[in-house]
Amino acid sequence: MAKILIVEDEVNVSSFIRKGLEEEGHSVDYAYDGAMGLSLACTREYDVIILDIILPQMNGLEVCQRVRERLGYNVQILMLTALGTSEDIVKGLEMGADDYIAKPFRFKELLARINAMLRRRGSSNISKIYSFSDLELDTETKIVTRAGRKIQLTSKEFRLLEFFMANPRRVLSRTTIIENVWDSASDYGTNIVEVYIKYLRDKIDKGFQGKLIHTVVGMGYVLKESMD
């Protein structure tokens, strides 16, 4: 059983989600505006927060950002949004969301996303330190360094880099990356992977000697030492 917070101002949507989750055995709290959602998130412990973007008093993006500032990445955040463009999705992920689902949605898909998040949350409790070349990633402290310099990553950037570091020198296709980092079939037709590869390169390659993330034309991407 998981403890889940729903922050959604549409009563019908909130009730629909709550009923389905409680039938699955989860414990559910809910809030109908951003301020109340933030207050609950910061005063009670949750495994997952389902967060609408368009909310009264404080929008979901701001709530997400403040939750990350106060709680770090100890809770999984799923954005629930009617804003489904790539720009909207990337903005939500940049604020610290772990995943998103666009309205309208099927409860079965929502539940699958939540279950994937809970599996990741469970596996993330096992501390592991990955090292590759002069790059190091600690899954417990969420600290990433290269050549001893600390690098700040968003939640999604961290998960993407962790997947690369768990599979060094292996060419990872775009589909494989989406299936393991996003758990979202609706991302298959977007350029979300390319966007986040660029973000990672700007942070872990730019300003350092030797590139680590390489494009394999027509196949995908690989973490390996530079051959330049």
Three-state helix/strand/coil letters over 10-73 = CHHHHHHHHHHHHHCCCEEEEECCHHHHHHHHHHCCCCEEEEECCCCCCCHHHHHHHHHHHHCC
* Per-residue tokens: 45: 């412990």
How many Å apart are CA 82 and CA 104, to the nearest integer? 7
Q: At a CB cut-off of 8 Å and minimum separation 6, what does 1 contact?
A: 25, 26, 27
Q: Note whether 76 and 125 are within 8 A (CB).
A: no
Is 3-124 a domain of CATH 3.30.1360.30? no
Per-residue pLDDT reduced to its tens digit, 101-123: 888 888 998 998 898 888 776 65
With CA atoms as reference, report the closest residue to 61 among 91, 105, 103: 91
Per-residue pLDDT reduced to its tens digit, 155-175: 888 889 999 998 999 999 998
pLDDT for 184 beyond 70:
no
Does residue 139 sit in helix, strand or coil?
coil
Q: What is the CATH number of domain 129-223?
A: 1.10.10.10
Q: Regarding beta strands 220-223 and 213-216, do their DSSP bridges make them parallel or antiparallel, or are they unpaired? A: antiparallel
For the segment 190-199, the average pLDDT, to the nearest whole number, is: 88
Among 85-99, 139-153, 170-184, the range of highest mean pLDDT: 139-153
Q: Give the model's pLDDT for residue 85.
A: 60
Q: Is the pTM here over 0.85, yes or no?
A: no
Tell me the H-state helices in the chain: 11-23, 34-43, 60-71, 86-94, 107-124, 155-166, 174-177, 192-204
Q: Give the model's pLDDT for residue 119.
A: 79
pLDDT for 188 beyond 60:
no
Domain boundaries, the chain: 3-124, 129-223
* Residue whose tokens read 């910061």: 42
Split at pLDDT 50, 70, 90, the class of 204 is very high
* Average pLDDT value for the chain: 86
Same fold, 3-124 and 129-223: no
With CA atoms as reference, report the closest residue to 213 among 154, 156, 146, 149: 146
